[in-house]
């Protein structure tokens, strides 16, 4: 931004910020030394002296807020959120990572493990395997609860590598869902007393999970069938039962429903002056991610244009060197977020985001209820 | 929990348990956007304690009312974000039927 004396500044119509202040308010300026104007001005009276209300009008927010989906696949999505404050965008990101519940293996009952993988390492590996099941169908299990069909999913793993056969790789598809709960019976003192009734196991399911309408036609399975759990040599065996419960990412990352959830502000690349001919070609060469292109403007003249600003990583290669800082400006738009969600497979990414927004609503509701 | 002086309802500190930056920072934003607020801020007194203190000082209105309004604003913003997002997703699935098919598989 060139320095202008206050006396030479153009008149600004009422209700509008002067151009340079508007730029500082809405953009982060990325200069060759450091980014400037990185702060967000939240205070409603920040520009009161100029007769401008910086406050939030809900109807104004509703008018300006936009969402544009860029990419949506089974387990990842990218979308633009335009016209929102970073505090809210960050709240959604934090909730996605740490406060959305999923199901994950929490207890592993190992009956036999003669593999080279130690019990605790094996249990930890099992815990990290994503399970493809809607966590909203289950309840949290608190400390005093007994594991039942509403809070626990049981998987069985029994693999054996016979003597004389080659080594085998145990993959996650060997984990078999037990809709009737645990098959390991609890050791009791008087096991002969009630031999007629079912032996007590580690879970007390009142009904089979696959009799529930949701699971009859889509049985619970793991999100990926090809995750390597262990390798077995001849004569080695693993027999275990894994109990999955509902939890949140802030307790342990295995319950996080996203591989990553992140956002970046939209890069804005502006050519402050016409850049022509050799200079233009030099600029195109300078950029490692091909943000610029060359356009023919007739008479054998060429000029540089900004073709792909979204690809810009703000490496600042294009503003390196003496005069380049005056030719190209790198900025970021403060209220335009490119949001990316990578789901681990429990829920599709678009459902994850709406659930995250609902959780923030619940938090507000809780505060309102507490205070009134 | 609310901490304030008996004779001045316009300034108070609210101590919320089981909350963190997620809620506090968003509420601070909506509070700041309210012209009745003279000052607001939040702190987490100790990182291993799940508690956040939100300080609200207003130009005269009771601080608790202003905080409730801020929460309400935030909730309405969330609802709008959710409906806009759902609509954008539906629109995207309509305009990209091939990819939408893959999602259902």
Q: Helix crossing, A86-98 with B21-32: angle to 10°? A: 160
pLDDT value for A47: 84
Both A141 and A125 in one domain: the answer is yes
- Looking at the predicted structure, is the pLDDT value of residue A72 above 60? yes
- Partner residue facing B88 (CB), from A79, A99, A370: A79
> Within a domain: residue A349?
yes
Distance CA A202, CA A300 (A): 81
Within 8 A of B91 by CB-CB distance, chain A residues are: 69
CB atoms within 10 A of CB A270: 12
Task: Report the first-to-last Cα separation within chain B, whole angstroms.
Answer: 49
- Residue A71, classed as helix, strand or coil, is strand
Structural domains in chain A (count): 2
Q: Which residues in B lie closer than 8 A to residue A363 (C-beta atoms)?
A: 19, 22-23
Instruction: Please indicate, yes or no, whether residues A111 and A149 belong to a single structural domain of this protein.
Output: yes
Point out the residue among A45, A69, A95 whose CB comes nearest to the CB of B92: A69
Average pLDDT over residues A197-208: 79
Looking at the structure, do residues A160 and A147 belong to the same domain, yes or no? Answer: yes
Position A50 in a domain? no
What is the torsion angle, in degrees rounded to the nearest 10, for the CA atoms of residue A173, residue A175, residue A176 and residue A181?
Answer: -160
A330 DSSP β-pair partners: A30, A269
Task: Give the whole-angstrom CA distance, residue A363 versus residue A368.
Answer: 9
pLDDT at B103 over 90: no
Q: What is the pLDDT of residue A208?
A: 83
pLDDT digits (tens, 9 = 90+) for A43-66: 888 888 777 777 777 888 899 999
Q: Does A364 touch chain B (CB under 8 A)?
A: yes
Contacts of A42 in chain B (CB under 8 A): 28-29, 32-33
Same domain? A250 vs A228 = yes
User: Does B81 contact A84 at a Cβ distance shorter than 8 Å?
Assistant: yes
Q: Which two tokens stand for residue A176?
A: 């078999």
pLDDT tens-digit series, residues A274-285: 888 888 999 999
Is the per-residue pLDDT at B100 higher than 70?
Answer: no
pLDDT of residue A189: 56
Quick one: A274 and A150 in the same domain? no
Last residue of a domain, one of A255, A270, A297: A255
Element (H, E) at B88: helix B63-95
pLDDT of residue A194: 53
CA distance to partner chain B, nearest, from residue A140 (Å): 17
pLDDT band at A183 (very low <50, low <70, confident <90, very high): confident
Q: Answer whether residue A37 is part of any domain.
A: yes
Hey, are the CB atoms on B88 and A348 less than 8 Å from each other?
Answer: no
Same domain (yes/no): A213, A247: yes
Which chain B residue shows the shortest CA-CA distance from A347? B103
Whether A102 contacts A255, CB under 8 Å:
yes
Contact residues on chain A for B105, CB-CB shorter than 8 A: 74
Same domain, A119 and A109: yes
A362 touches chain B (CB under 8 A): no
Residue A54 lies in a domain: no
Answer yes or no: is pLDDT of A192 > 80.
no
- Which residue do the tokens 């108070």 mark? B12
Judged against a pLDDT cut of 60, whether residue A191 lies above it is answered with no
Could you tell me if residue A82 is inside a domain? yes
Q: Which residues of chain B are within 8 Å of residue A367 when distances are taken between CB atoms?
A: 16, 23, 27, 67-68, 71
Closest in A69, A94, A348 to B88, CB measured: A69
Average pLDDT over chain A reads: 89
Chain A within 8 Å of B103 (Cβ-Cβ)?
yes
Please tell me the predicted confidence (pLDDT) of residue B101.
53
Give the nearest partner residue to A354 out of B35, B71, B82, using CB atoms.
B82
Distances (CA, A) of A360 to A282, A350, B30, B97: 48, 16, 13, 31
Biggest CA pair distance of chain A: 102
Q: Do B77 and A350 touch (CB under 8 A)?
A: no
**Average of pLDDT values for A142-150?**
87
Name the token pair of A102: 């999923």
What residues in B contact A53, CB-CB < 8 Å?
35
Token pair listed for A236? 């080695």
A114-127 pLDDT, tens digit per residue, is 999 999 999 999 99
CATH of the domain at A162: 2.170.120.12
Answer yes or no: do A295 and A364 share one domain.
Answer: yes
Tell if the CB–CB gap between A360 and B64 is shorter than 8 Å: no
A213 and A108 fall within a common domain? yes
CATH number for the domain whose boundaries are B2-76? 3.30.1360.10
pLDDT tens for B50-93 read 999 999 999 999 999 999 999 999 999 999 999 999 999 999 99
pLDDT of residue A45: 82
Give the separation between CA A3 and CA A319, rounded to whole angstroms: 19
Q: Are A267 and A335 within one domain? A: yes
Confirm if A364 and B72 have CB atoms less than 8 A apart.
Answer: yes
pLDDT at A187 over 80: no
Tokens of A267: 């890069």
Same domain, A333 and A251: no
- What value, to the nearest 5°, has the Cα angle with vertex A342 and ends A348 and A355? 50
- Asked if residue A308 belongs to a domain, the reply is yes
Per-residue model confidence (pLDDT) at position B81:
95
- Please provide residue A28's backbone torsions phi and psi, each rounded to the nearest 5 degrees: -95, 125
d(CA A348, CA A132): 10
Range of the domain at A370: 7-45+62-100+257-372
In this predicted structure, what is the pLDDT of residue A51?
76
Q: For the domain that residue A94 is a member of, what is the CATH number?
A: 3.30.1360.10
Q: Which pLDDT does position A206 carry in this prediction?
A: 83
Q: Are residues A186 and A314 in the same domain?
A: no
pLDDT at B105: 44
Residue whose token pair is 């929460």: B71
Pairwise CB contact (< 8 Å): A372 & B32: no
Secondary structure class of B94 (helix, strand, coil): helix
Q: Mark which residues 27-86 of B lie under 8 Å from A by CB.
A: 27-30, 32-35, 37, 64, 67-68, 71-82, 84-86
Specify if A195 maps to a domain.
Answer: no
A372 or B41: whose pLDDT is higher?
Answer: B41
Residue A158 pairs with which residues in a beta bridge? A239
Beta bridge partners of A30: A35, A330
Residue A244 lies in a domain: yes
Closest CA to A371 of B56, B67, B54: B67
Q: Which of B3, B12, B31, B33 to mutate to test the interface with A (most CBs of A within 10 A)?
A: B33
* Percentage of chain A exceeding pLDDT 70: 95
> What is residue A60's predicted lDDT score, i.e. its pLDDT?
87
Sheet containing B2-4: order of strands: B2-4, B11-17, B51-58, B37-43
Q: Which residues contact A288 (CB under 8 A, 6 or more apart)?
A: A315, A317
């Amino acid at each position: 931004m060139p320095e202008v004396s206050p006396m030479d500044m153009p008149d600004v119509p009422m209700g509008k910020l002067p151009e340079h202040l508007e730029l500082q308010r809405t953009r982060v300026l990325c200069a060759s030394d450091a980014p400037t104007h990185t702060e967000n001005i939240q205070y409603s009276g920040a520009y009161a002296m100029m007769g401008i209300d910086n406050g939030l009008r809900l109807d104004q927010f509703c008018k300006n807020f936009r969402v544009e989906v860029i990419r949506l696949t089974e387990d990842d999505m990218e979308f633009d959120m335009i016209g929102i404050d970073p505090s809210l965008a960050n709240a959604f990101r934090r909730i996605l990572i740490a406060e959305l519940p999923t199901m994950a293996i929490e207890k592993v009952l190992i009956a036999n493990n003669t593999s080279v993988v130690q019990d605790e390492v094996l249990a930890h590996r099992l815990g990290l395997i994503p399970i493809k099941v809607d966590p909203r169908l289950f309840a949290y299990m608190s400390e005093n609860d007994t594991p039942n069909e509403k809070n626990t999913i049981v998987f069985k793993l029994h693999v054996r590598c016979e003597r004389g056969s080659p080594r085998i790789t145990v993959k996650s598809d060997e984990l078999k869902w037990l809709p009737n709960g645990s098959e390991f019976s609890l050791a009791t003192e008087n096991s002969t007393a009630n031999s007629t009734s079912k032996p007590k196991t580690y879970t007390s399911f009142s009904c089979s999970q696959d009799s529930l309408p949701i699971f009859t036609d889509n049985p619970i399975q793991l999100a990926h069938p090809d995750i390597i759990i262990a390798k077995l040599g001849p004569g080695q065996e693993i027999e275990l039962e894994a109990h999955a419960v509902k939890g949140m990412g802030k307790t342990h990352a295995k319950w996080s429903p996203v591989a990553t959830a992140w956002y970046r502000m939209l890069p804005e690349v502006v050519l402050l002056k016409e850049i022509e001919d050799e200079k233009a070609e030099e600029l195109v060469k300078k950029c490692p991610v091909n943000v610029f292109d060359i356009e023919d403007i007739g008479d054998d003249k060429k000029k540089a244009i900004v073709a792909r600003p979204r690809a810009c990583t703000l490496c600042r290669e294009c503003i390196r060197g003496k005069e380049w800082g005056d030719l190209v400006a790198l900025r970021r738009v403060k209220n335009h977020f490119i949001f990316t969600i990578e789901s681990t497979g429990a829920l599709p990414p678009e459902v994850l985001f709406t659930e995250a927004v609902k959780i923030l609503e619940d938090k507000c509701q809780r505060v309102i209820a507490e205070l009134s | 929990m609310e901490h304030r002086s008996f004779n001045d309802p316009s300034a108070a500190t609210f101590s919320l348990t089981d909350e963190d930056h997620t809620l506090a920072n968003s509420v601070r934003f909506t509070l700041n956007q309210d012209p009745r607020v003279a000052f607001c801020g939040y702190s987490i007194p100790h990182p291993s304690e799940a508690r956040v203190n939100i300080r609200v000082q207003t130009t005269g209105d009771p601080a608790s009312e202003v905080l409730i309004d801020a929460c309400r604003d935030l909730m309405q913003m969330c609802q709008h974000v959710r409906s806009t997002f759902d609509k954008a997703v539906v629109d995207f699935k309509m305009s990209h039927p091939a990819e939408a098919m893959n999602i259902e598989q």
